[in-house]
Amino acid sequence: MSNLNQREQQRRRPHLAPWDMHLAEVEVKAGTLVVGRSLEEIQLREKHGVNVALIERDDRNIPAPHRDERLLPTYGA
């Protein structure tokens, strides 16, 4: 009987597959409130459930940036 109950509970839970996400490219403009602030200070994950996967800075990429990484404005785009 417990096996049947487990199957019923699993059916009720929403299943999120690894592809149940959205990617978006966001440009940080000079003069915005986030410029110079760290990812931790901005609290994107805590407040909005947003994870930053990559920061493009000039000619280099910062994959999976640390929470201490500061956001800088985009120039020349």
Tell me the per-residue pLDDT of 7-60, one tens digit each, with 9 for 90 and over.
Answer: 666 666 566 666 667 888 999 999 999 999 999 999 998 998 889 999 998 889
**What's residue 59's pLDDT?**
87
Identify the residue whose tokens are 């994870």: 51
Domain 24-77 is classified in which CATH homologous superfamily? Answer: Regulator of K+ conductance, C-terminal domain (3.30.70.1450)
Domain boundaries, given as residue ranges, for the chain: 24-77
Residue 35: partners with Cβ closer than 8 Å, 6 or more residues away: 28, 71, 72, 73
Whole-angstrom distance, CA of residue 23 vs CA of residue 72: 20
pTM of the entire predicted model: 0.66
Q: Note whether 54 and 65 are within 8 A (CB).
A: yes
Task: Give me the numbers of helices (H) and strands (E) for the chain, helices first please.
Answer: 3, 2
Q: State whether residue 57 is helix, strand or coil.
A: strand
